[in-house]
Chain A
């Protein structure tokens, strides 16, 4: 297989459990397997506690998995130490939900964007300024913004700064963990358009973690639906939105309020709660089996 066909990220059987003080465990991620292909946006959707953010943190090695395998660009990075990881870190970057928390309030934002370049020895003093200015322009900010501080920007501008910083190392994968969720809708649309433009220009792959299915429909090539730590459905955008085949996917889609009063629906009066991913020491959830119901469309088997 040529390197063009190897997925950028391959995740196999990834598992992470967090012990609680009483001996029980949160089964945050259970045997998750997925690929992120080159140049695509894979969206991971699910509700609070489904394990989607833990999955992102595992892939970028902010957390160590209890089991499973993570390959980046064909190389197994599952157990690499900090020094060995450094070369691989350049290939993947992450942006978070709250850009204000991701930026040092006492440093000009230009320095924040320059920092990865300095840490990785990619820029000397003389060309650092130009490289940062170039990054600012790439995210539709101007180089005059470089000397300002985080509080002087709006939420959308701050997220652009975080995107510029993520792009500084010319990564191949950008993980966006609810990166547009806190933004006002008009700003959210602009940041999503920017991310799509950058993908077209730079051939980036995105792992797009979100709870918002309407946003996913805009931005994703493929979608993985997570529920209680496991993937219950995985497929192309059209598989998930036009032929949702797992009951949970359908429930999620039905629940999204659609911004069109002509499509208002009466829904049954339900009172379910999302079950807990916490298990006693000697218990664990059943691992769902995924079946391919059409090429590239995997669905978990459900007990009737």
Chain B
């Protein structure tokens, strides 16, 4: 049986008096892709940021209850919720890494992309500059950046959005993490580029065996990549299940309403006329 990598139990996150995530529990086993899907304000991104305790760094969020247990590779489960910052740094970017929607804001504009990927690796592994540089090149080739050697020397602004996201993936995978958290990684990309990044992520997952937590609002992306799905709404988990169950046998009214609102390419084949969405529940906000 696949080994348990991450166990989140009763996670609650507050921003002042506002509860962004309440009593959220889920598990992640090795090699699987778990999608956390929801609309704006559902708490999906805050959940993702909480796993590495970034929610406390980047914004004034506070984990007020719950536990986040992570298995150190080849070792036992550690509680991330109470872990000291120094120990967290060993885990972030090393065992668990993260990519975001907008790679341009995650990259430093004044360093070449090759430098940044090499530096991240050097920090964690303490290798020499030339070794790190070689590793960056390997990673660029791994994420299928064409002419990898020349592109290492480029600055972020010289690259397209799709290439920048490949750089972020290269950086995220450079320490061979067991978990990759991807927060809306393709939302800002054009649809043909999105398809390329999704297939790349799937292929890399096969090659590395990393487990992926995919945070998205897009049911199409969920259907394409997920093994299991967590549906969130208003800080809570509404439904959890296999991707087939959630799409074909949704149990909760919210999930049913959400699925009814998703336009599905090909669902109107043979129709000469446009058609309204057959919405579930009320048709006005």
Smallest CB-CB separation from A43: which chain B residue?
A: B274
Q: Are B223 and A218 in contact (CB under 8 A)?
A: no
Q: Are A256 and B191 in contact (CB under 8 A)?
A: yes
Instruction: List residues of B (239-285) whose CB comes within 8 Å of A's CBs.
Output: 243-244, 247-248, 257-277, 279, 283-285
Q: Given that A186-B258, A267-B195, A271-B196 are known contacts, is A47 also in contact with B190, CB under 8 Å in the complex?
A: yes
- Chain B residues near A266 (CB-CB < 8 A): 199
- Chain B residues near A257 (CB-CB < 8 A): 194-195, 198, 218, 220-221, 223-224
Alpha-carbon distance between A256 and B194 when the two chains are bound, in angstroms = 9
Residue from B190, B191, B267 whose CB has the most chain A CB atoms within 10 Å: B191
Q: Is B88 an interface residue (CB 8 A)?
A: no
Q: Are A260 and B190 in contact (CB under 8 A)?
A: no
Q: Are A274 and B274 in contact (CB under 8 A)?
A: no
Q: Is A219 an interface residue (CB 8 A)?
A: yes
Option from B203, B258, B265, B283 in Cβ contact (under 8 Å) with A258: B265
Q: Is B39 an interface residue (CB 8 A)?
A: yes
- Chain B residues near A251 (CB-CB < 8 A): 192
Alpha-carbon distance between A187 and B283 when the two chains are bound, in angstroms = 9
Q: Is B40 an interface residue (CB 8 A)?
A: yes
Alpha-carbon distance between A251 and B267 when the two chains are bound, in angstroms = 18
Instruction: List residues of A (231-284) whose CB comes within 8 Å of B's CBs.
Output: 236-238, 241-242, 251-264, 266-274
Q: Is A152 an interface residue (CB 8 A)?
A: no
- Chain B residues near A35 (CB-CB < 8 A): none
A56 to chain B, nearest CB (A): 18
Q: Is B74 an interface residue (CB 8 A)?
A: no
B14 to chain A, nearest CB (A): 23
Q: Given that A214-B220, A257-B194 are known contacts, is A185 also in contact with B244, CB under 8 Å in the complex?
A: no
**Apart from A185-B39, A190-B285, what are 9 other A-B pairs with CB-CB below 8 Å?**
A41-B274, A155-B40, A189-B260, A189-B277, A189-B279, A221-B273, A259-B219, A263-B266, A267-B195
- A residues in contact (CB < 8 Å) with B: 41, 47-48, 140, 154-157, 184-190, 192-193, 196-197, 211-215, 217-221, 236-238, 241-242, 251-264, 266-274
Query: What are 20 sample pairs from A and B whose C-beta atoms fall under 8 A apart?
Result: A156-B285, A186-B279, A189-B261, A190-B285, A193-B276, A213-B265, A214-B265, A218-B263, A218-B268, A241-B265, A255-B195, A256-B220, A257-B198, A257-B218, A258-B224, A259-B262, A267-B195, A272-B192, A274-B160, A274-B192
User: Which 6 A-B residue pairs are closest in the complex by CB-CB distance?
Assistant: A257-B220, A214-B263, A255-B195, A189-B261, A47-B190, A184-B39
